[in-house]
Structure 1
């Protein structure tokens, strides 16, 4: 986490979050009021956090990685709008409430995972989640098709769960229609955590990779290569300059 995130956790009176994420930071939040809910209870915990804040209790809503990347910042702001809660930098609504809200940046899995692999995101990339809980699968397929045909490096979030065992295989098939089977693929699970696993494979072998909901998959573009155990996507310097110095 960022230093600012640690400072906020130390300063607030209450912390709201998914049970797994609360457990990860429990040593940092001893003695604080905790609002902990299970998966799919995001609205409940944001509502509870807003109620606490409106009552005068400072509250941090925690997410894994960065709160604005597949996480809670958007829902907090959406619910403020629905409840006519003015937030920092806006005018007070008539007869409404006002809160000071800060979105604290974190380190998303695409950044932590990329650093462990080497430099797979040095050029343009697209991030796509395979979870169809909130997004129709037809939309996800269309985005995979567009990103693959445009030769983006593709970062895949939420590649597999017990309910979605075949989604990654379908994504592999879509991408392979536009990319060489030997395209490098990086697999990172639990980046920067105790269960961290890192491996390199190819697009052709992706369906055999060990992945779960804590895994981020990095599919290279047509120029991505592996060197000495690192995955590298060149920015294009060698095509314009002499880098053999």
Structure 2
């Protein structure tokens, strides 16, 4: 389907994995694109929006090829590059813009945000991130593990709430354990920890609430679809009707009575 207008490139965060969790702007952009480019997993999650567009599917490890193809097509077409979660949070926005910059792409580029894994997971767990937090990926495919260790240590010492992305894969099955060991050197074992798998993905969603000293009991349960939130010494677990949630106080309790 050829556009009659000058090309345009959308870089779209599709959120946790369902059309219902996408922004209206993101849905409209997909529906009105000539081409939709993305990882097959993400395209499957928005298949109800794919009707009439040309679809270009690829798989993990082909990110550079996807970015180059999207930029090439955008010279004369309206193109949607889809990315899971938010395209700026370990997503495709940076790579696509780098390729566009390198090729001096002269079309309108619009990045549309999406619900991230940390905010999706936090909503499942209650209110664990209402204060300062850090997001750290445990994937050392593109970032040296030595640098990841420095970031884990710094965030732990500064008492940030810490979100761990990409905790384990078949090739990286020890990084999660190593990360928890580093955090535990600077944080009390009683700190609440939430683990969310497939956040906001319907019946496949699962979550656990535990404490830092016991979180490695779930080592075998953790995989690439899991996001872990390590809270602070001020956070607490609240049980309501058999469901455990994490509350991290924002600080109102120090100024107000409620």
TM-score by length of 1: 0.92
Q: 1:198 aligns with which of 195, 207, 227?
A: 207
- Report the alpha carbon displacement of residue 48 of structure 1 after superposing the two structures with TM: 0.7
- Report the alpha carbon displacement of residue 173 of structure 1 after superposing the two structures with TM: 0.6
Q: Which runs of 5+ in 1 are unaligned?
A: 86-97
Q: State the 4+ residue runs in structure 1 displaced beyond 6 angstroms.
A: none
Output the CA distance in 1 between the equivalents of 2:196 and 2:31: 30
Q: 1:23 aligns with which of 29, 44, 49?
A: 44
TM-score by length of 2: 0.87
SS in 2 for 1:200: strand
Which residue does 2:253 correspond to in 1? 238
Output the CA distance in 2 between the equivalents of 1:237 and 1:31: 51
1:50 aligned to 2:59?
Answer: no
Which residue does 2:222 correspond to in 1? 211
Which residue does 2:183 correspond to in 1? 175
RMSD over aligned Cα, in angstroms?
0.9
Which residue does 2:231 correspond to in 1? 220
Output the CA distance in 2 between the equivalents of 1:184 and 1:84: 48
Q: Which sits farther off after the overlay, 137-146 or 193-202?
A: 193-202
- Report the alpha carbon displacement of residue 119 of structure 1 after superposing the two structures with TM: 0.5
For this pair of structures, how many residues does the alignment match?
A: 230
Higher relative contact order (Cα pairs below 8 Å, separated by 6+ residues): 2
Q: Which runs of 5+ in 2 are unaligned?
A: 1-21
Output the CA distance in 2 between the equivalents of 1:30 and 1:136: 41
Give matches, 1:35-74, under 5 Å: 35-54=56-75, 56-74=76-94
Q: Which sits farther off after the overlay, 149-158 or 221-230?
A: 221-230
